Structure formats: structure tokens, C-alpha cells
Amino acid sequence: MKKIKRYAGYINLKPINGVLYPSSIQNILMKNYVTDNLKGKFYLSPTEVLQAQNPITLNTLISNEVKVDGIVMLSTFSLPLENKKRKIIYKRALKHKKELHFILDEMVFNKIEMIENIENYLIFRNKFFTETKNKTNNFEKNLAKSSKVSFV
């Protein structure tokens, strides 16, 4: 009989590109993802310590101490900002054979080659993509003036 895999949710209360998901909603999304998409068993979903310098909760989940096959989180955007800290997570997850599932990005980290894909995706966490555009600079103003076309 095929072994049913166990997955832990990882709740991170920092906004994902401006959207703050309450922990209850994150929990529902993760639980549904584990049961419907992965056909696995949902184990638990601890919350990251907001004040900590390092992602202690995520580090705990990917350690040997927690007996799960993988960790499910909303997005790669929930990973630490610092490259060094992410590298540690990738390394430990591979060492302990734990998959990392990112629901919104529809990505799974389960082999070393995926690091490049995740790092490429994290480009879109840059403020170039996440900042709300409220003002135009002089170049943009001139560009807009150069065309008579406007729909509003």
C-alpha cells in the first residue's frame, strides 16, 4: 500500500505583495492543498515568529525533529529576504528530504535544480514589481503627452 505523506503548514504573517492573509485563511488554504492536491495528511501549521531575526519556525519544520515529508506555505515570497538564509533552508530541506510546496506560485522544491527556478521567481518580490504606482516621473509624463490616445 502506498504510504500517505504527511505535510506541515507554515504560516507566515508578513504580507505577500501587499496582501495579508489571516492565519485562519492560510490554514484553510494549506489544509485544502494537502488533502485535495497532494492527497496527503495535514499535520500542523505553526506560525513564524514575527520578531525573530531568523525563521526559527521554518527551521524547526525542516529539521529532523518534526516528522513530516514536506512543508506547505503560501508562496516563495514567505521565504527569508536574505539570500544566505534561503540557502540554508534549501540545504537543510534537501538534507532532510523535505519537500517545500508553494501554493500560489504552483512550485515545489524537491531537488537542487529547483533553487534556480525559485530564485528567478523571487525577482518579482523586488519593489519594482510590488510598489503601488501612484505618481509618474517626467519621462512618463512626456510619454503620456506624446500620444493623443486615452481611454479614460
Summarize as ranges the residues that interact with other proteins (CB under 8 A).
16-19, 75-77, 83, 104-106, 119-124, 126, 128-134, 149-152
The nearer residue to other proteins, 33 or 43, going by C-beta atoms, is 33
Q: Please say which residue, 35 or 83, places its beta carbon nearer to other proteins.
A: 83
Q: How far is the CB of 17 from other proteins (least distance, A)?
A: 5
Nearer to other proteins, 32 or 124 (CB): 124
Q: Give the 3-state secondary structure of 47-72.
A: ECCCCCCCCHHHHHHCCCCCCCCEEE
User: How many Å apart are CA 21 and CA 5, to the nearest integer?
Assistant: 26
Shortest distance (Å) from residue 51 CB to other proteins: 18
The answer for residues whose C-beta is within 8 angstroms of residue 54's C-beta and 6 or more apart is 80, 85
Comparing C-alpha atoms, which of 150, 1, 5, 136 is closest to residue 69?
5
Give the residue carrying C-alpha cell 527551521: 59
CB of 45 to other proteins, least distance (A): 19
Query: Whose Cβ is closer to other proteins: residue 11's or residue 68's?
Result: 11
